[in-house]
Amino acid sequence: MTNTVRTASLAVVGAATLAVGVAPAMASEAKTTITAPTAGSTVTGTSVTVKGGYWASASVKEVRVAICTLDTAGKCTAYVANPTTGAMVTSYRSIPATLTPGSQTAGSYAFAAFGLKPAAYKAAAFVVSSDTPKGTPTQVSFTLKNETTPPPTAGFISIGFGRSQWSVATGTNCNVVPVGARTLEENLIDLKARGISAQGGVVVNRTEATTQSCYQQQILHPSWADLARLRDTYGFTAVSQGMNYADMTKMTTDTQRFQESGATLPILNSKGFTRAWGMFNYPNDKMNADANRVVSQSFAFGRKYGTSINTRAQVMTYPYLVKTISVMGGKCNNKNLACYSMPVKNDKRTAPPSRLTQILRPKANEWGVLQFYRIVEGSYGRMGGRDVAWDCTSSDWRNRWTSAPEMYCRNSFLEALDGRDKTAVPVDAVDVANAWGRNP
C-alpha cells in the first residue's frame, strides 16, 4: 500500500473523490462506502481497520460500525463491544468511527478493532445524520487469520533527533552559540561517515518554508528547506512530532487527536517526506488509550520513552509503541568533581556511552532506538552561569557535563556509535514496518 493511499484514507474526502462512482446525495439520503477491508478478503493479524467514505443530504452526526463473527450459515454470532481489547457480546453492538472531517455532509471515516481472534467476520457501516437516524448499511464479509511465526530478521538500530533541533541557541532570536555547538547537519555528517542515517521529529506548525524558527528563546527549528536538504544529502527521514506539539492527554475528541497526529501526514507528504507514517513522536511523551487508538490508525508505530531494546513481539502488539532511549546530558559522573553536584534541570546526569552502546547491539528480531537532541563539543561558558555551558574536553566520559539535559557531548555520542554491533542494520521506522508487516 503506498503512503499516498494511507494518508488519503483518513484525509478529507473532496468533491472529486465523492464523484467517483457515487451519485450526489438526494433528499434524506445517508450512505457509506467501505474501501477496506475488501469483500471476501483475508486479513492477517489480530486487528482490522474498517474505513471508507460517507455522504448525506444533511449534517452527519456519526458513522457507526458493527463488526461481528459469522457462523457457517453466514449469520452474526457475536459483536465487537470493545475495539481496544476485542471483547465481544452476543447482542447487537455498533460503535462510532472517527470522522474526517466531523459534522459535515461528506468525508471519510475509520474504525480500528484490535485483539480479534481468527474467524469469519462481517463489517457494516451506516450514517446517522440530522434527518436520518440510521442510513442504509454497507456490508462486507472478510476472514481474519493469525500470522504464522515470522522468520527472524537481523537486529535493527535507529538514531533519532527530538524535534529535529538545529543547534544550541540562546537569546530572543535563538542565536547559535559560536563555539562548540554542533548543527543537526554536522551530526548527520558524523552518522553518514558510519553508514547510518537518522530520523527526526518535526513539529509542523513550528516549521517555516525557508527560515529557521526560534521557540522559547532556546530551541532553533530547521526550515522545510533545511529538512529537504538533509533528506536528499544524508537520507534523513522526517517523522511527525505533532501539528502543534500539544498534549494529547488533554484532548477530549477524536477530531482533536487526529488533527494533532494523522492530519500532519498530508502536509509532510506534500513537502516530500513520504515516510513520516512510520512513527509518531508523541509530543513530550504524553499519551493515553484514546490517543493510541487514533494514532495507530495513521502511523505504524508510536514513540514511547523507555530504557531497553524493543522486541518484535512487543512492538507488533497494539498499541505498537517503540521504546526509545531519550539520551540526556547534565551532571558529570565523577563524584570528585564539582560537576557531579551542580544544579541541572530535573537533576539529570549524563548518560554513559556504554549504556547507549548496549542499545545498539540488538539481536535478531530486536530494535534498538536512541534519540538525541543537541550535540556539543569542546567547552563553552561557565559552570553555574546563567547561560548554557558545557565541558566535553576530558578523555574520560565520567568527567564530561552539560548545563542542560538536552545537550550531549559529541565524543560520548561517537563513542556510543562506534561501540555498536556493526552487523545491526541501520533503519528508519518504515523499514521496520515493512520488514515486520505493520501496515496501518
Quick check: is 151 in a domain?
no
pLDDT at 256 over 90: yes
One domain, residues 201 and 339: yes
* pTM listed for this prediction: 0.74
One domain, residues 299 and 419: yes
373: which 3 cell numbers? Answer: 537532541
The whole-number pLDDT of residue 336 equals 98
One domain, residues 41 and 75: yes
User: Please, what sign has the CA dihedral across residues 71, 75, 77, 81?
Assistant: positive
The whole-number pLDDT of residue 103 equals 62
Which one of 114, 145, 176 terminates a domain? 145
One domain, residues 113 and 203: no
One domain, residues 94 and 232: no
One domain, residues 174 and 267: yes
pLDDT average, residue stretch 99-127: 89
414: which 3 cell numbers? Answer: 561517537
Quick check: is 150 in a domain?
no
Quick check: is 257 in a domain?
yes
pLDDT at 1 over 80: no
One domain, residues 105 and 163: no
**Cα angle, residue 327 at apex, residues 181 and 424 outer, rounded to 5°:** 105
The whole-number pLDDT of residue 5 equals 39
Rounded CA Rg of the chain: 24
One domain, residues 160 and 110: no
Quick check: is 331 in a domain?
yes
312: which 3 cell numbers? Answer: 518484535
pLDDT average, residue stretch 52-70: 93
Structural contact between residues 143 and 120, judged by C-beta atoms closer than 8 angstroms: yes
154: which 3 cell numbers? Answer: 537481523
The whole-number pLDDT of residue 109 equals 92
- The residue written with cell numbers 528547506 in the block is 225
Which residue range(s) make up the domain with 319? 156-436
pLDDT average, residue stretch 83-104: 88
Quick check: is 228 in a domain?
yes
Partner residues linked to 426 by β-bridges: 157
Which one of 145, 169, 200 terminates a domain? 145
Instruction: Report the run of H or E that residue 91 belongs to, with start and end.
Output: none
Percent of the chain surpassing pLDDT 90 = 78
Q: Pairing mode, if any, of strands 87-89 and 213-215?
A: unpaired
193: how many CB neighbours lie within 10 A of its CB?
10
For residue 386, the domain's CATH number is 3.20.20
The whole-number pLDDT of residue 148 equals 61
Min mean pLDDT across 122-126, 142-146, 201-205, 235-239 is at 142-146
The whole-number pLDDT of residue 251 equals 97
Reported as a single tens digit per residue, the pLDDT across 263-315 is: 999 999 999 999 999 999 999 999 999 999 999 999 999 999 999 999 999 99
The whole-number pLDDT of residue 430 equals 95
One domain, residues 175 and 270: yes
- C-alpha 260/C-alpha 276 separation (Å) is 14
Q: Pairing mode, if any, of strands 138-145 and 219-221?
A: unpaired
For residue 78, the domain's CATH number is 2.60.40.650
One domain, residues 162 and 141: no
Quick check: is 96 in a domain?
yes
The whole-number pLDDT of residue 150 equals 64
One domain, residues 190 and 122: no
Note if the bond before 352 is cis, omega within 30 degrees. no
- C-alpha 143/C-alpha 45 separation (Å) is 11
One domain, residues 132 and 160: no
Which one of 145, 173, 199 terminates a domain? 145
The whole-number pLDDT of residue 25 equals 40
- The residue written with cell numbers 513522536 in the block is 281
pLDDT average, residue stretch 11-21: 35
Reported as a single tens digit per residue, the pLDDT across 138-188 is: 999 999 987 665 677 789 999 999 999 999 988 888 888 889 999 999 999
Tally of structural domains, the chain: 2
